[in-house]
Amino acid sequence: MPLIRRVSNFIFGSSCLGCGLFTEKLDPWLCPNCREELVSLGKEPYYPQEDVVCLYSMNPLTRRLVHALKYHHMPGLASYLVKQSAACRGKEVFLWFDLLKKPFLLIPIPLHSSRFRERGYNQTDKIAYALANQIEGSVFHGVSRRSFSGSQTKLSVEDRKCNVAGVFQLKKKIPKGSSTCIIIDDVYTTGATTKACSYALLQEKRVDVKVCTLLFEKQVSATLDLVADHVVEWD
Ligand SMILES: [Zn+2]
C-alpha cells in the first residue's frame, strides 16, 4: 500500500494525513513537520499499568492516523506507526520488551466478523506483524471473539460489563515453549478489552500476559469505553 501511495503521490501530489498540507515531500503519509511531531511523541511511550505499554499518547495527530488506519482503508499505517515509535527508533520501549521472558507470542485482538468483512483487514493484525518483526516474536491467532445471541443485546450496560470477561475464548492451545503472550490492540483506554482477552489467555497458567497498544487515550468513563468496544459489536 505505501508503494501505491508513493506512486500516486509522485504522479498526482498529495496532502499530508496530519495537517492536510499539499506537498511532494510526503514520506508517504506525512509532511516533514508532522513526521517530526510523530517521532517526538513516540519517544515518550506511556505505561498505564506495569504490564501495559502504549507506543504513543493520543493527540490530534495520532488520533487522525489511527482513525485513518481503521476507517479509511490504510492498513500500511500500522507498520508506519510502529516503525516511527521508540519501539524501533529508541531504547526505552526496547528495554521494556527486553525485560520480558522470550520467546514472545503476539496476540492481536480479533475483530468482530462483520467489522472484518466491512474493513477487509484487522488493524490489530497489521500492528502485531509489524511489531513481531522488530521484537522477534511470532503472531498467534488463537483467540476468538464469541458471538452472542440476540438476548445478549437486551442486557443493560452494567450487565454487559459483568459479562465482559467472557467476550474472548482460547480456540487453540498456546504453542509449547512460548513464555510471554503480548496482547496487541490499537487503543488502550480503560483496558476493558485487553483484560477480557487476558482472562482467556490466563486459562493457561504457564505464560505471562502483557499488553502493547499503539495509543493511550485518557479514560472518559469506563462505561463509554465498554460501549465503544462491545455494545455495537454485540448487536
Ligand atoms: Zn503535515
One digit per residue, the tens of pLDDT, for the chain of length 235 reads 456 655 555 555 578 999 999 888 889 899 999 999 999 999 889 999 999 999 999 999 999 999 999 999 999 999 999 999 988 777 777 889 989 999 999 999 999 888 888 899 999 999 999 999 989 899 999 999 886 544 444 555 555 555 566 789 999 999 988 899 999 999 998 888 899 999 889 877 778 999 999 999 886 554 444 444 443 333 2
User: From ligand 1's centre to the CA of 20, what distance in Å?
Assistant: 6
Q: Which of 118, 121, 124, 123 is nearest to 106 (CA)?
A: 124
Q: How far is the CA of 10 from the centre of ligand 1 (A)?
A: 17
C-alpha cell at 26: 510526503
Measured in Å, residue 185 CA sits from the centre of ligand 1 at: 25
CA 17 to ligand 1 center in whole angstroms = 6
* CA 167 / ligand 1 centre spacing (Å): 39
* Ligand 1 center from residue 178 Cα (angstroms): 41
* 146 close to 113: Cβ distance less than 8 angstroms: no
CA of 70 to the centre of ligand 1 (A): 19
Q: Which domains does the chain have, with CATH numbers?
A: 45-234 (3.40.50)
Per-residue DSSP letter, 230: I
Residue 4 CA to ligand 1 centre (angstroms): 19
Rounded Cα–Cα distance for residues 198 and 204 (Å): 10
